[in-house]
């Protein structure tokens, strides 16, 4: 009914954001999870974590990626030792203090004290810390939780307090959350269908309460310094939303200096009209490894936010190749409307060099064989049809043109060196030849998160999670005769993916997909199903790629692909003396690919060691996972292979998950 996180607000004038990333696999049409909330508030409602010590495990992803074993768990003797510290009386009732001692220092276990009421054996209080070796995002974590008998035989929490610190750049953020519970109703009645996928709800005016409201409702008296902070916060919010200050923000964005000219780009922003545009900086205009050699690319965007939460987005680029003296470019215009349904229409058109295999290995991305000239115009419509069911329909018209007549640069030698396989270099350096043709295509992508959880906040639908697999369907139809289209094909693909936990043994992730062309009356090589090749020395996302597959495979018939990885999260090595001090974790998995038209069967397996580090990136702490993996593979086209690879994975603090 009332909400305010009092997140520390920083002066946005002159702020610069630098981002980087790498995507492997098909574009995700579903709405991303997370709402960009204050990351320093780890517990804002009961839905963040069920802090119930009577359960065997406590899931608190903001603190630990692994479920925390309760000291009262049925199997707690395996994980904990206990020491009786004595007894005392409180309100005439004898209370026993028991020290909780974790047997493994790097496991998700508590240490501290629990307090048990004599004769009833009810839990009266916990004063527990979490092992630092199990903490991912914070530096340390402590919980104090008090229980009272709210009814005969019913002991429930009346007070819980969380203490934690988070490393942020050069600072330590000290967090303290205090929650009071009262007025329990042990026999509630709910209307039918009250509990559904919406896990919580914010009233429309929950964000508009003034300080007088909070003073009357707040159950805990704040310190003078805290009240001063709130007053200063309100003043800053008022300042940062004032017309005078917005003008300063716009001026800072619009300012041109050597860094904006070289790196961040030159643009103009008008906060009052909701408009913003920017052109790329000089460094971002340089494309040394473009098709045909060096290309110079001008690019930018224009966006407009409307008062009804509509968003207009435009993007465009134009580039020039000096070797072939050719001009290429493309433009995209999109409008997002009906925000609660994520409805977006996007129009794209242009004449540009495009990748044949959009998810090619790094080496193949540089090769001549992976490029084609495309003249394209397309319209895409994306929306959430039902809760968890996302759809995107695209209609496109294209001229596909071979680049045989272009003068190209030999990039493959840069990737392989002069000692590389001559046949391989020749294959990669030779452009894909085909007669030019026209194509009209309709594509439909569906993605369904079964029983997707969500909540509405500030007129936005925030996606949280689903405990069930995610299903996918892709349908493509090449339509002949329309606008002289020459293709005639039909393709359908089904997929499923999920992750799950094994009790005390870490978590697994898997993905399965299969597809086929049901119509191949006029199927060109560009429309084949392509698979991502393997990278030299790099362990790529094992759910969307293979490690020892080769550089590129495609098919015009049926295929089946399955990938699996399991992270033990220290479940084994944390229990080995001396080795557990290294904080290493085991991981392993496998994958298979079957392609009918070349009678191809590929199987690979891998295993290795991983370690989590907190890397400081531009003043913020970013958990990363480094791994070294031994990979072996065998298929019916090549001899058995064995390689060592290095991988790096990033933790997403929004979804509280790793990429794989």
pLDDT tens for each residue of 465-478: 788 999 999 999 99
3-class state of residue 454 by DSSP: strand
Residue 239 has pLDDT above 90, yes or no: no
Average pLDDT over residues 595-609: 91
How far is 166 from 334, CA to CA, in rounded Å? 39
Among the listed residues 489, 488, 494, the one whose alpha carbon sits nearest the alpha carbon of residue 559: 494
User: Is 60 exceeded by the pLDDT of residue 447?
Assistant: yes
Q: Which of 1-15, 97-111, 271-285 has the highest mean pLDDT?
A: 97-111
Residue 515, pLDDT score: 95
Locus of tokens 């090595």 = 573
Q: By C-alpha distance, which of 546, 551, 601, 526 is closest to 424?
A: 551
Report phi then psi at 170, rounded to 5. -95, 5
Task: Say whether pLDDT at 19 is over 50.
Answer: no
pLDDT of residue 426: 55
Exposed/middle/buried for residue 196 (C-beta within 10 Å: 0-12, 13-18, 19+): exposed
> Worst-scoring range by mean pLDDT, 114-118, 359-363, 577-581?
359-363
Percent of all residues in the chain with a pLDDT value above 70, rounded to a whole number = 91
Helical spans, DSSP H, in 397-555: 412-416, 422-429
Q: What's 258's DSSP letter? A: H
User: When comparing pLDDT for 478 and 202, which is higher?
Assistant: 478
Min mean pLDDT across 111-120, 255-264, 493-502 is at: 255-264
What whole-number distance in Å separates Cα of residue 645 and Cα of residue 580?
23
Distances 650 to 292, 615, 619 between C-alpha atoms, Å = 34, 10, 16
CA distance 636 to 298: 47
3-state secondary structure of 475: strand
Nearest to 518 by CA among 490, 481, 549, 560: 490
The two three-digit tokens of residue 513, written as one number: 């997909």
CA distances 484 to 393, 399, 524, Å, are 22, 10, 15
Sign of CA dihedral 477, 482, 486, 488: positive
Selection from 203-207, 245-249, 275-279 with the highest mean pLDDT? 275-279
3-state secondary structure of 441: strand
Segment 146-197, tens digit of pLDDT: 999 988 889 999 999 999 998 776 778 899 999 999 999 999 998 888 888 8
Query: Comparing C-alpha atoms, which of 439, 638, 625, 449 is closest to residue 523?
Result: 439
| Nearest residue to 349 via CA among 311, 388, 323, 375 | 375
* Terminal-to-terminal C-alpha distance of the chain: 37
- pLDDT mean across residues, the chain: 86
pLDDT category at 136 given cuts 50, 70, 90 is: confident
Q: What is the pLDDT of residue 10?
A: 57
Which tops the pLDDT comparison, 551 or 255? Answer: 255
* pLDDT exceeds 50 at position 20: no
State the average pLDDT over residues 320-327: 91
Name the maximum alpha-carbon separation found in the chain: 94
Cα–Cα dist 180/483, whole Å: 68
pLDDT recorded at residue 26: 64
DSSP state of 580: G
C-beta separation of 357 from 552 below 8 A: yes
Residue of 596, 604, 602 lying closest to 635 (CA atoms): 602
What would the pLDDT profile of 536-564 be if each residue is shown by its tens digit? 888 999 998 899 887 778 899 999 999 99
Alpha carbon distances (Å) from 229 to 235, 392, 492: 10, 46, 58
What is the Cα–Cα distance from 42 to 138, expressed in whole angstroms? 10
Q: Between residues 429 and 83, which one has the greater pLDDT?
A: 83
Q: Given this model, what pLDDT does residue 338 score?
A: 83
Q: What pLDDT was estimated at residue 119? A: 86
Instruction: Count CA atoms closer than 13 A to 317's CA, side-chain side.
Output: 15
User: Cα–Cα distance between 48 and 42 in angstroms, integer?
Assistant: 8
Spell out the long-range contacts of 79-82 with Cβ–Cβ below 8 A and sequence spacing 24 or more.
Answer: 79/103, 79/104, 79/107, 79/109, 80/109
In percent, the amount of the chain with pLDDT more than 90 equals 44
Which of 7-16, 172-181, 647-656 has the largest mean confidence?
172-181
> For residue range 27-56, what is the model confidence (pLDDT) as tens digits?
677 777 666 667 788 888 888 889 999 999
């Amino acid at each position: 009914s009332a909400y305010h996180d009092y997140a520390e607000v920083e002066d946005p004038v002159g702020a610069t954001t630098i981002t980087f990333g790498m995507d492997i696999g098909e574009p995700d049409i579903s709405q991303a999870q997370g709402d960009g909330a204050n990351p320093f508030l780890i517990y804002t409602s009961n839905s963040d974590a069920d802090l119930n010590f009577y359960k065997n495990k406590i899931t608190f992803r903001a603190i630990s990626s692994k479920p925390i074993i309760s000291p009262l768990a049925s199997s707690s003797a395996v994980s904990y030792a206990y020491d009786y510290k004595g007894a005392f009386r409180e309100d005439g009732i004898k209370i026993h203090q028991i020290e909780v001692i974790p047997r493994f220092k790097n496991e998700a276990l508590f240490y501290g004290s629990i307090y048990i009421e004599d004769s009833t054996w009810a839990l009266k209080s916990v004063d527990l810390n979490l092992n630092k070796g199990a903490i991912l995002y914070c530096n340390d974590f402590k919980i104090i939780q008090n229980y009272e008998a709210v009814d005969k035989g019913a002991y429930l929490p009346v007070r819980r307090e969380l203490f934690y610190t988070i490393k942020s750049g050069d600072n330590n953020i000290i967090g303290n959350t205090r929650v009071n519970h009262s007025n329990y109703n042990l026999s509630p009645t709910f209307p039918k269908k009250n509990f559904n996928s919406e896990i919580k709800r914010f009233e429309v005016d929950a964000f508009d309460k003034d300080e007088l409201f909070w003073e009357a409702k707040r159950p805990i008296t704040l310190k003078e310094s805290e009240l001063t902070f709130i007053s200063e916060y309100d003043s800053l919010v008022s300042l940062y939303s004032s017309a005078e200050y917005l003008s300063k923000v716009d001026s800072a964005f619009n300012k041109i200096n050597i860094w904006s000219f070289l790196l961040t780009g030159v643009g103009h922003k008008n906060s009052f009209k909701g408009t913003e545009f920017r052109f790329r900086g000089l460094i971002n205009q340089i494309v040394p490894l473009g098709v045909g050699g060096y290309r110079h690319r001008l690019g930018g965007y224009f966006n407009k936010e409307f008062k009804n939460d509509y968003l207009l987005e435009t993007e465009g680029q134009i580039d020039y190749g000096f070797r072939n003296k050719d001009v290429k470019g493309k433009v995209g215009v999109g409008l997002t409307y009906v925000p609660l349904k994520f409805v977006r229409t996007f129009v794209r058109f242009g004449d540009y060099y495009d990748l044949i295999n959009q998810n090619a290995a790094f080496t193949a991305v540089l090769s001549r064989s992976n490029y084609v000239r495309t003249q394209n115009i397309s319209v895409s419509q994306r929306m959430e049809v039902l809760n968890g069911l996302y759809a995107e329909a695209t209609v496109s018209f294209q001229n596909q043109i071979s680049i045989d007549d272009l003068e190209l640069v030999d990039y493959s030698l840069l990737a392989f060196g002069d000692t590389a396989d001559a046949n391989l270099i020749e294959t990669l350096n030779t452009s894909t030849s085909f007669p030019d043709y026209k194509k009209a295509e309709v594509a439909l992508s569906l993605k369904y998160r079964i029983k997707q959880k969500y909540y509405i906040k500030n007129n936005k639908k925030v996606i949280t999670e689903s405990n069930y697999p995610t299903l996918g369907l892709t349908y493509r139809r090449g339509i002949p005769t329309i606008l002289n289209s020459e293709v005639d094909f039909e393709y359908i693909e089904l997929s499923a993916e999920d992750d799950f936990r094994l009790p005390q043994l870490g978590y697994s992730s898997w993905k399965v997909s299969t597809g086929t062309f049901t119509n191949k009356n006029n199927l060109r090589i560009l429309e084949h199903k392509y698979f991502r090749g393997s990278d030299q020395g790099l362990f790529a996302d094992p759910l969307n790629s293979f490690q020892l597959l080769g550089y590129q495979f495609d098919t015009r018939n049926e295929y089946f692909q399955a990938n699996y990885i399991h992270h033990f999260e220290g479940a084994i090595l944390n229990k080995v003396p001396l080795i557990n001090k290294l904080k290493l974790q085991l991981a392993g998995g496998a994958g298979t690919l079957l392609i009918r038209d070349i009678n191809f069967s590929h199987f690979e397996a891998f295993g290795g060691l991983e370690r989590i580090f907190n890397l400081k990136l531009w003043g913020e702490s970013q958990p990363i996972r480094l791994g070294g993996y031994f990979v072996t593979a065998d298929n019916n086209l090549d001899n058995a292979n064995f390689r060592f690879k290095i991988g790096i994975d990033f933790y997403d603090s929004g979804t509280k998950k790793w990429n794989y």
